[in-house]
Structure 1
Amino acid sequence: MAFFIRWLWKYLNYLIIFFTPLLILPLPLIIPSLESRCGYVIILMALFWCTECIPLAITALLPVILFPMMGIMESSEVCIQYLKDSNMLFIGGLLVAIAVEHWNLHKRISLRVLLLIGVKPALLMMGFMVTTAFLSMWISNTASTAMMLPITSAVLQQLSDTEAQAEEREMDLVTSKAWPEGLENQAFEMDDTTEDRAMSTKESPEAEQRRLKREQKYLNLSKGLSLSVCYASSIGGTATLTGTTPNLILKGQVDELFPGNGDIINFASWFGFSFPNMVLMLATSWLWLQFMYLGFKYSEKSSGCVANKDGDTEAYQVMKKEYKKLGSMSFAEVSVLVLFVLLVLLWFTREPGFMPGWGSALFNKDKPYVTDGTVAIFMSTLFFIIPSQMPRCGKANVDGFSVLCKPRSPLKPPPALLNWDVVHEKMPWNIILLLGGGFALARGSETSGLSLWLGKSLAPLQFIPPFAISILLCMLVAAFTECFSNTATTTLFLPVLASMATAMKLHPLYVMLPCTICASLAFMLPVATPPNAIAFSYGNLKVIDMAKAGFILNIFGVLTINIALHTWGMAMFDLHTFPDWANVTTTP
């Protein structure tokens, strides 16, 4: 029996792949309609995504096979869904992030921020959280966590070593004062046997107690900082439209299901709503982790961070040394930074909302010919054009900026800021297929009439107060994303939420927007998201540590998101009214 169970577990993925389609096959056979066929595809993909029996990106390609075979959509129409404007925005944003990582600009920014904040215990955790969150707004959460955690380990190790040395000096001073007068010289005349015996003696009970207390203190500090980094990376990704994949899925689904929405979700509008919410969530997380692992009376002296007369500590010197290793900014780093700043400015000023942007001023006011995806692709293309060095000749080169002069011999041209080999290695192509699979499901649901059927079925929910619906759905999504990919979670939930909102005559963003952000609140389990897994791999954390901290943070996250939704979110998106463009999915 035990052997049979082990065999089943070993071949579980193959059994799921083979039996799952057969088990749910009666659905389209008993109810022969387009709605049931589309429901069959969605249920099959949901089970495959949740169990990950085959790669997520391959599951996302199933609509290309099943929709034409079942007569739901033509193959040409399905394939078009896999490269929409949101995918272009995602690709452009990732190219910029890859350039930032390739030239180590993200490390320079993080170390500079930490040097400005310092290593005082009350601010150390805040400094790491702010830095990680800022980086996660622009580069991947995984890369931000992987870069910041080694820095936290180095700082904590130096803090612990400094305090241990201070305790040893203090114990030596106490021992020297304990010698009676006249016996001090005799101590140095002990024979080798006595000296060896003295060296082999164990540490005193007082010294052992102090050592254990110090180790426990720094273990708690290490746990707190590790959790703060991985949590801040997930929170920071919610602030920008390109920060994490669920945000782009929301934009793509809204544009797909409600074509006349007037570009209601763009970089500026998303940032205006989500950035204050991110700050609120970050502050709440810092207070909770500070309370759990450091305590609000965690003094500077108790951590070993006692500054010297110059105001520097050993840990501060560690970060300063790491920053000096980077050297001065090269021409490539300056170029990447300038292009990055220009990209953000163009995103913000294209259609800021409170005033006409350059997109409507230079192009058509009625149609959004230029989108955030256009800007992202344009700026990211420049990385493949601008050289990584100034044209140089001879050996004149100062801090990466070369002197212009007439070349005496043919020189090899400098490489561009980015090349395709680097992009091919770091670009997560599977996410692009996942995005396309979600858009294909949304289009299939609308074409088959499944969205209309779901909307009518969920209509009785209109008797529940809207704020209660929002909180319950947020909690459901936050719980679901603890076990499954946040990309798969938003892909499955958003079309259903859109149908429910239109049936209840609610603004679609009233439920879609908070649930999308809640999909990033994966705080409880190491398997919930890659940043959690990276933090857990360092060995200082246990599952119970992450679960205790993450459970409360999930509740705080749901509450803060709903506070944001019912305050400035109502004013920004006019969530009080049901917009005319939302009637699209309710028409037969």
Structure 2
Amino acid sequence: MALYWCTECMPLAVTALLPVILFPLLGIMESSQVCVMYLKDSNMLFIGGLLVAIAVEHWNLHKRIALRVLLIVGVRPALLMLGFMSVTAFLSMWISNTATTAMMLPIAQAVLEQLCNTEAESDERELKEGRDNQAFVMSEVTTTKLPVDNFIKDQSEVSDEECEWNSALEAKRKAREQKYLLLNKGMSLCVCYSASIGGTATLTGTTPNLILKGQMDDIFPDNPDVINFASWFGFAFPNMVLMLLFSWLWLQCMYLGVNFKKSFGCGSSNEGDREAYKVMKEEYRKLGNMKFAEGAVLTVFVTLVVLWFTREPGFMPGWATELNKKGQFVTDGTVAILMSTLFFIIPSELPCTSSCNLDYDDGEEESSENQTPRKQKSPPALLTWKVVHERMPWNIVLLLGGGFALASGSEESGLSLWLGQSLAPLKNIPPFAISMILCLLVGTFTECSSNTATTTLFLPILASMATAIELHPLYVMLPCTICASLAFMLPVATPPNAIAFSYGTLKVLDMAKAGFILNIIGILCINLGINTWGTAMFRLDSFPSWANVTHGAP
């Protein structure tokens, strides 16, 4: 399965179905045990989160949020880059990284194009005004000369002036094109990179996060729901902010230079800024006023996030604490499905209570006394199954299930136990060094393979290794899961990179140079987090008793 996933000789989802065939035939697991892995609680959480994301995209709520924030941030180069990175990362926390990148890149391109066009007009106008002023002064100085000599000299001087003006205009054009080529590259990279970084902040932001949640619950069934939406956000969100800030500084230095005074503008304003601001304002104006459907989706979305955070916050009793005293009855997946079901119930428009929109039989006028109204047609719901069917990536659901089945089969067969015992000599290495080496390994591997396949393959091995050397499983599993999303160096590494590369301004070398440093930044930030606030949150400095009991092994 690892070979098939890396080479993609078959579709990833089809490869994920191999355990259904091979595990029963090889006597590893019963068919009923394997098949149930494909719709675990984590899959339901994934489906519920995707339904929310589909509703947000369907009603263009994400575009309204993005443009509103960008209008607040402004259009100065450095602030514009920071604004696009912040908005992209925030949206990527809730909707797919691919959809976020596909929406944000055209907006960034339009703003940069307007800035470039306005600067070109400004340069041409400035040079023209300088030439006119110079010609005016020259004519005043030479009025006392003889008419013929004056005419000949004026002609030659005007001709020389025209050549100088054209040369200056050409020089300005080349400098401007080079400047905006770099800015375009920087903006494209900042959008696709921040989409990948933002997806790490929430449990539903990207698939590897859910794989960790599912495999922790499967391999360590006695763990006290150590990974849930609130605990993941508490660790991953500060880490995401840290990575985003350092990534912005690196891209700023690489593509805008270290002249922060010029990049930030320092309070000055020019026509290019105003014109680019108008572009974003016009895009926002096209969206019109917020509709009832957008407000309803936003309300359901905010309610879902609040319910996720308050279900089992850990530091205080949550609303589901009483229900979960005898087991995990209510999980994040329960909440996700509950709230996403509302999208199929709530209408997209307020029903009209007046008779003005009713249809009447026999072509009678509405003012007629004998009018017979037909049944009023109800507005469609916020989501229909047709929309969901078109946009739901069902292949990822199978891929998730295949990963869970593979992990369970590794435990049942004793493969994970054997691998863990083989890695027992690592006990002599300091834990922070183990984490750093594994993060580098996963970060390199994910550049050539999908982040889902990478996480699926590595997590069972890491869990066995942690148990063998008596290290908290999350100390290695959590940073490696986040590192699986740090695929920054190649266009084929992740869909956001491919979308940014498709615009034609980037070269593979550009992405490799910028992405290599970002990979290092990400690995250092993650290991800083796991050794500071991560250790305090999850008590990673001790080996938990629940880690001694694994699924399929004594």
TM-score, normalised by the number of residues in structure 2: 0.91
Which of residues 431, 437, 442 in structure 1 aligns to 2:402? 437
Kept in 2: contact 1:506–1:578 (CA 8 A): yes
In structure 1, give the amino acid aligned to 2:514: A
Kept in 1: contact 2:79–2:264 (CA 8 A): no
Residue 394 of structure 1: how far off its partner (Å) = 5.3
Kept in 1: contact 2:209–2:482 (CA 8 A): yes
Residue 536 of structure 1: how far off its partner (Å) = 0.5
After superposition, give the CA deviation of every residue in 1:159-214 in whole Å (9 maximum; x if it has no partner): 01111111111111111112232799x9xx9xxxxxxx99x989622221111111
CA distance in 1 between counterparts of 2:548 and 2:386 reads 46
Residue 451 of structure 1: how far off its partner (Å) = 1.4
Kept in 1: contact 2:479–2:526 (CA 8 A): yes
Q: Does 1:499 align with 2:464?
A: yes
Distance 1:155 1:504, change over 3 A: same
Which of residues 336, 353, 369 in structure 2 aligns to 1:376? 336
CA distance in 2 between counterparts of 1:516 and 1:547 reads 22
CA distance in 2 between counterparts of 1:395 and 1:559 reads 64
Kept in 2: contact 1:458–1:503 (CA 8 A): yes
Moved more, 120-129 or 84-93: 120-129
- Structure 2 unaligned runs (5+)? 152-158, 358-371
Distance 1:267 1:472, change over 3 A: same
Matches within 5 A, 1:362-511: 363-392=323-352, 393=354, 410-511=375-476
SS at match of 1:538: coil
Residue 453 of structure 1: how far off its partner (Å) = 1.1
SS at match of 2:320: helix
Residue 342 of structure 1 corresponds to 303
- Structure 1 unaligned runs (5+)? 1-44, 190-196, 397-406
Kept in 2: contact 1:144–1:233 (CA 8 A): yes
CA distance in 2 between counterparts of 1:449 and 1:327 reads 60
In structure 2, give the amino acid aligned to 1:382: L
Residue 185 of structure 2 corresponds to 223
Matches within 5 A, 1:107-186: 107-179=63-135, 180-181=138-139
Kept in 1: contact 2:127–2:165 (CA 8 A): no
Residue 296 of structure 1: how far off its partner (Å) = 2.6
Q: Does 1:571 align with 2:536?
A: yes
CA distance in 2 between counterparts of 1:303 and 1:533 reads 32
CA distance in 2 between counterparts of 1:312 and 1:538 reads 24
SS at match of 2:56: helix
In structure 2, give the amino acid aligned to 1:76: S
Q: Does 1:522 align with 2:487?
A: yes
After superposition, give the CA deviation of every residue in 1:357-414 in whole Å (9 maximum; x if it has no partner): 00113x1323120000000000000000000000014568xxxxxxxxxx96532110
SS at match of 2:471: coil
Moved more, 563-572 or 204-213: 204-213
CA distance in 2 between counterparts of 1:348 and 1:330 reads 27
SS at match of 1:86: helix
Distance 1:308 1:292, change over 3 A: closer
CA distance in 2 between counterparts of 1:281 and 1:302 reads 21
SS at match of 2:9: coil
Distance 1:302 1:266, change over 3 A: closer
CA distance in 2 between counterparts of 1:206 and 1:216 reads 15
CA distance in 2 between counterparts of 1:223 and 1:71 reads 53
CA distance in 1 between counterparts of 2:203 and 2:13 reads 21
Which of residues 40, 48, 51 in structure 2 aligns to 1:84? 40
SS at match of 1:418: coil
In structure 1, give the amino acid aligned to 2:540: L
Residue 367 of structure 2 corresponds to none
After superposition, give the CA deviation of every residue in 1:241-279 in whole Å (9 maximum; x if it has no partner): 000000000000000000010110000000000000000
Which of residues 206, 211, 215 in structure 2 aligns to 1:249? 211
CA distance in 2 between counterparts of 1:364 and 1:210 reads 68
Kept in 2: contact 1:119–1:305 (CA 8 A): no
Which of residues 58, 68, 84 in structure 1 aligns to 2:14? 58
Distance 1:530 1:203, change over 3 A: farther
Q: Does 1:105 align with 2:61?
A: yes
Residue 314 of structure 1 corresponds to 275
Kept in 1: contact 2:77–2:263 (CA 8 A): no
In structure 1, give the amino acid aligned to 2:234: G
Matches within 5 A, 1:208-219: 208-219=170-181
SS at match of 2:38: coil
After superposition, give the CA deviation of every residue in 1:103-159 in whole Å (9 maximum; x if it has no partner): 000000000000010111221100000000000000000000000000000000010
Distance 1:305 1:46, change over 3 A: farther
After superposition, give the CA deviation of every residue in 1:297-341 in whole Å (9 maximum; x if it has no partner): 1544898996359x9610000000000000000000000000000
CA distance in 2 between counterparts of 1:169 and 1:341 reads 50
In structure 2, give the amino acid aligned to 1:454: L
Distance 1:301 1:89, change over 3 A: closer
CA distance in 1 between counterparts of 2:247 and 2:263 reads 24
Which of residues 520, 526, 529 in structure 2 aligns to 1:555? 520
TM-score, normalised by the number of residues in structure 1: 0.86
Identity between Structure 1 and Structure 2 (%): 71
In structure 2, give the amino acid aligned to 1:383: F
SS at match of 1:379: helix
Residue 74 of structure 1 corresponds to 30
Q: State the Cα RMSD in Å.
A: 2.4
Residue 291 of structure 1: how far off its partner (Å) = 0.5
Which of residues 196, 219, 225 in structure 2 aligns to 1:263? 225
Kept in 1: contact 2:78–2:264 (CA 8 A): no
Which of residues 285, 294, 313 in structure 1 aligns to 2:247? 285
After superposition, give the CA deviation of every residue in 1:44-76 in whole Å (9 maximum; x if it has no partner): x00000000000000000000001111111111
Moved more, 204-213 or 532-541: 204-213
Kept in 2: contact 1:162–1:304 (CA 8 A): no
